[in-house]
Amino acid sequence: MSRKRSPARASRRRSVGRSLTSGGWVAVATTAMVIGGSLTAYGAYYDIYGNISQENIDRDALGDSPAKVEGVVNIMVIGSDVRTGDNADYGTAEGERPDTLVIAHLSPSRGSATLVNLPRDSLVALPDCPATETKPGQAAHRAMIGEAMNNGGVQCLWKTVQELTGVHIDHFVSVDFTGFKGMVDSLGGVDMCIPTDLKDEKAKLDLKAGQQTLNGEQSLAYVRSRYAQGDGSDLGRIERQQEFMGAMLRKVTSGDTLSSPTTLYDFLGSVTESITTDDEFTVDTMADIAITMREVDLGNIKFVTVPNGQAPDDPNRIAWREPDASQLFQAIASDTGLDTDAPEKDEEEKEEEPEPAEADVAPAAPAEVSVTVHNGTDVSGLAAEIAATLQAEGFVIAGTGNPEGAPPERTTVYHDTGLRSHAQAVAEALPDATVEELPGIGTTVRLVLAGDQHGPGGEDTAALPSSVEAVDATAKQNACG
């Protein structure tokens, strides 16, 4: 893959993927899209665009990409852990992995933006990626999601995200540590409530409790810190990042910022000087997004994190919880919104529901159930992910693979005669799964995943489980005095 730069900035050196360590760019990216169209001089927007570094992405090499929803834009926001150039002041790190990974889902027809955090501690099924001029490539294996970028670059990470989520990715952006500081400083700081005194030498954080305006250096330390706040986990840090994103969006979209051409121009100049994008993310594309998204209300900008739990094979890592994660991705992939309440059927519909062919029985204890998981969807690695979740709940996993023949239309747990209680236990762990007797298959039940367990092949609507908690940009988690 090759990179190119506007001639106006050809002499400026910058590492690909040197980026914001903890999610502030998500606020920046969305905000720039929302208000970029507010620049009165279109030529000024072109001038600012000339600052951006770009990288070529071979879209043909991504394989079969998920279906694209017309009018929707999904941007992969990455923050690299590489420490070079100006970023060397923030420690050393081997290789290049995303410290932050987010899907920014922009839906003009719904007047909304949804920012989905994919935690860096996620253990997932990584796809095969070829070697590049600077990367060794990788065979398909299970590892932390960021290894895809370290082994195969941005293109491999792009492929990984699409295969794991079933969400069509249109573009990517990244930003560096020092650029983030400049963005905050161009706004005159970001107002935050700090609930208690915070000190984290590793993140260069030293803040007193109370309402205050954080400058760029303080903001960077606040969103980078893991050990001064909460339980020190990446999930706890993501919650703080989302809080900061909301505060930054409120500041950028405030009357003072938008009414000052100088402040607005300085802010967008800081944004573009600090990012790398794919080569198809043109100024016209950015302008189109800005025009269609600039009326989005802050209450319609949502922050969510992929539902997750402790990985069964590593207590220091997490696994995405199924089917909750797939239902979230289904909503994003099909642009059906983040309605966390399933629609209620009316009484007439309820009366017409057929009786089950076989009465349910009390489910067996998970430890008594041996199950194989077969992936009948086009989501790579889904069988392994659901198998890990079932194993964490106590089920005995006898293997994973693909089904023989065409998969059923609905996720089904097949069982031999007399083992319905075993199948019932598995079905209850997967909402909407059905149970069917298949004499002669033996003492191990067979779970076959169908289209209702992933995005592109799912229903046209997506009611999300209660575990998906969306926080909008107007929310303030902390209150001072």
- Grouping H, G, I as helix, E, B as strand and the rest as coil, residue 165 is helix
Comparison of pLDDT for 107 and 19, the residue scoring more: 107
Closest CA to 445 of 453, 455, 435: 435
The reported pLDDT for the residue numbered 452 is: 66
DSSP annotation of 201: G
Residue that is written with structure tokens 């208690």 in the block: 196
Q: Among 43-57, 104-118, 170-184, 458-472, name the one with the lowest average pLDDT.
A: 458-472
pLDDT at residue 352 above 50? Answer: no
The pLDDT value recorded for residue 222 is 86
Residue 13 has pLDDT above 50, yes or no: no
**Looking at domain 348-453, which CATH architecture does it have?**
2-Layer Sandwich (3.30)
Average per-residue pLDDT in the chain?
A: 76
Q: How confident is the model over 309-336, as a mean pLDDT? A: 88
CB 115 within 8 Å of CB 102: yes
Q: How confident is the model over 431-468, as pLDDT tens digits?
A: 678 999 999 999 999 999 987 664 333 333 345 666 78
pLDDT tens digits, 253-277: 766 666 666 776 777 777 677 778 9
The 10s digit of each residue's pLDDT in 160-188 is: 999 999 999 999 988 766 667 877 888 88
Query: Domain segments of the chain: what residues?
Result: 3-334, 348-453
For the cut 70, the answer to whether the pLDDT of residue 281 exceeds it is: yes
Rounded Cα distance between 58 and 280, Å, is 11
Whether the pLDDT of residue 5 is over 50: the answer is no
Query: Can you tell me the distance from the alpha carbon of 279 to that of 51, in angstroms, rounded to the nearest whole number?
Result: 13
Helices (H), 57-166: 147-165
How does pLDDT run across 221-247, given as a tens digit for each residue?
888 777 656 555 667 777 777 788 778
The pLDDT > 70 percentage for the chain reads: 69
User: In angstroms, what CA-CA distances link 444 with 365, 371, 373, 385, 419?
Assistant: 14, 5, 10, 19, 9
- pLDDT tops 90 at residue 143: yes
Fold assignment, 3-334: Aminopeptidase (3.40.630)
pTM for the structure as a whole: 0.66
Cβ-contact 240, 152 below 8 angstroms: no
In 165-297 the beta strands, taken as DSSP E runs, fall at 171-175, 190-194, 198-200, 205-207, 210-214, 275-278
- How sure is the predictor about 10, in pLDDT bands with cuts at 50, 70 and 90? very low
How far apart are alpha carbons 335 and 414 in whole angstroms? Answer: 32
CB 20 within 8 A of CB 100: yes
Select the more confidently predicted residue: 273 or 327: 327
What pLDDT score does 229 carry?
Answer: 64
Give 4's pLDDT tier (boundaries 50, 70, 90).
Answer: very low
* Structure confidence at residue 431 (pLDDT): 66
